[in-house]
A = this chain, B = another copy of it.
Amino acid sequence: MSEGTVILKLGGSVITFKDGFMEANPASLSRLASEIHEAGREKLVLVHGGGSFGHPLAFKYKLHEGFRDYGQLEGFSRVHLAMRKLNRIVVESILAQGLKAVGIQPSSCVITRSGRIERFETTPLEKMLELGITPVLYGDVVPDLERGFSILSGDQIASYLGIRLNAEWIILGTDVDGLYTGDPKRDPEAKLLEKVTLDGLKRIIDEIGESSTLDVTKGMYGKIMELIPAIEKGVKVLIVNAKERDRVLKALRSEKVRGTLILRS
């Protein structure tokens, strides 16, 4: 039986230095590329965030507000060019391992409506997977039918492709170990959740919603919210700390690894 498809999302904080300006983290990228190579998955789609390549520029041009004036279109160009630059660095890291990878530009093949994916041409990407190429997508500014343009996050892309490609796994490589019962940086009682069902997750999200102190955790649950549609369709989600050596490798190999596993039931 052929292996299932895996969508691996690498957070911007893992592959760039967040406090820099358009500064990639080559050591981290090289290690992760080597783990991806070692894992030897047949069908892998890589999606990455923007970190210090995307966020500062997107903020400068107020792209999250959608199209307000012509001047912002410069921002559309600039943010996209910055993300393309990061994408090239990621693709080159993968190629350096002898793997085959081709970047895929979301703003060429996706259109959103009020920030949600409305159309996504995935035929070229699927053909690449079939050939043995790892498509590498990224968070991008994309044309939007209502707002002119909007920021499409890597998380939304990962969730969408998880469903569309009927993926076995979505692996979220982040800079934390997984989901906690509280904010591990403030609360010494906070425990890592090793396994959560969709119902359990929804209960936790409700509780978080009522709290105003758990900012860090909230950010994390925000990412998870994006993945709920995929989890509902039966795609297994695993959150691991991609800054720690071999966590992504083990996740890709479906081996036991520290992290949070989220299942439909």
Contact = CB atoms under 8 A, between A and B. Distances in A.
A153 B149 CA distance: 29
A105 interface: yes
A262 interface: no
Interface string A67-81: 100100110110011
A124 B100 contact: no
Number of copies: 2
Contacts of A131: 67, 73, 76, 143, 148-149
Interface in A61-113: 67, 70, 73-74, 76-77, 80-81, 84, 88, 91-92, 95, 100-111
8 contacts: A77-B102, A77-B133, A81-B91, A103-B105, A108-B108, A124-B142, A127-B143, A127-B144
Interface residues of A, number: 41
A119 interface: yes
Nearest to A123: B111
Contacts of A102: 76-77, 80, 107
Nearest to A85: B88
A202 to B, nearest CB: 33
A195 B36 CA distance: 58
Given A108-B108, A108-B109, 20 more contacts: A73-B100, A74-B100, A76-B131, A77-B91, A77-B101, A77-B133, A80-B102, A81-B91, A84-B88, A84-B103, A104-B107, A105-B105, A107-B124, A110-B124, A111-B124, A119-B123, A123-B143, A127-B143, A127-B144, A128-B143
A27 interface: no
Interface of A: 67, 70, 73-74, 76-77, 80-81, 84, 88, 91-92, 95, 100-111, 119, 121, 123-125, 127-128, 131-133, 142-145, 148-149
A180 to B, nearest CB: 37
10 A-B pairs with least C-beta separation: A121-B121, A127-B143, A108-B108, A73-B100, A105-B105, A109-B109, A108-B109, A105-B108, A124-B143, A111-B123
A208 to B, nearest CB: 35
Contacts of A149: 131
